[in-house]
Amino acid sequence: MSEFDPIAFLERAVQTPSHESVGEMRDLLVKTLESAGVAASVDDAGNVLAEQGGENGGPHVVLNTHIDTVPPHVPFSRDGDRILGRGSCDAKGPLAAFLAAFLAVEPDRGKLTLAITPDEETDSAGAAALSIDADAVIVGEPTGLDVCNAGRGRFQGTVTLHGENAHAAHPEAGVNAIAGLSPVLAALSTFDTRDPHPELGLPTLTPTTIEGGTATNQIPAESSFVIDRRSVPPEGADEFRALLETHLRNSAPEGIEVDVSLAERDTPFLEAFSTPADSDLVETLRKASGGEVRPFGAATEASYFAQIAPTVVFGPGVLSDGEGAVAHGPREYVNENEVTAAEDAVTETLRRFLD
């Protein structure tokens, strides 16, 4: 295989916008793999797939990250060893490190798969369409070289209160759905009564937007608010919806009906995941990286992979630093030495599993 320079690839990748369409970025990835002598394919869901090994038995290890980015595009620049621009840490920095590790390892046993998804920042249709029988999965996200063996899930829903219209001059003739919001919103704080998860702590339940009423001189018959749920194992989306609806109905004023509906998705919600800290994957990558073992601070496609194999989230860069937001922010960056350190740690881990 030809020599691969992850930093040169990363610089080019950050200069390739992928916030509206991933087509150009996907072409860059496929051409890079092919120029290194590795066959790459794009499936019907837009995933880029490449494999090595697979002829002598042994474990199947998957490297996964994504090529899409959030808007707006932030142009590439450099500040010494710091690479700045949209996607530099989320997640083209991890992609560069994983690609270098993938190309550096030729399995003596087992199989190594590179699976790069196109829409992690939106609906994760690519990841949902993957059918992979893996023994270990490393998901690339900015973790500061820590090994994240658990992460909260994210559900979104709408709580709707139903009352009855009346003229505002005769409020007693109706049931005010906006007036009913106060006790229902207050009841969010009493919903979670389970013990904290040993690694992720308590889940969160946050109202984020609110609507109600259609006329300024009418008692409103409907009001609603959107909720953001950051879940912990073993809670699933359907269980959460049903339990919350019952809880809020019991808290609503007389005459107010309450419904809870989850946001419509063509793919499953990103649920919480947890991989034992003493698993071979976590221990091997921790020793190779020198990082801590901790939960990840955001929902990821690790949710899908953790259902089939031990899964960790790992990579260069951080979600935020002492000055504020990094990933998804206007000052997004990754340090060059972290990219090469991530490459070394993943390479060492792959050799431990596949040599």
Q: How far apart are CA 12 and CA 28, in angstroms?
A: 9
Q: How far apart are CA 266 and CA 134, in angstroms?
A: 24
Annotated catalytic, 119?
no
How far is Cα of residue 103 from the mean position of the Cα atoms in its chain?
Answer: 25
Token couple for 276:
């034992």
Q: How far apart are CA 67 and CA 95, in angstroms?
A: 8
Catalytic residue among 11, 51, 68, 235: 68
Catalytic residue among 119, 120, 301, 332: 120
How far is Cα of residue 299 from the mean position of the Cα atoms in its chain?
Answer: 4
Annotated catalytic, 51?
no
Handedness of CA 215, 221, 225, 226 (dihedral sign): negative
What burial letters (b/e) apply to 36-67, b meaning 16+ CB within 10 Å? Answer: bebebeeeeebbbbbbbbeeeebbbbbbbbbb
Of the candidates 5, 14, 65, the residue with the CA atom closest to the CA atom of residue 35: 5
Active site positions, annotated: 68, 120
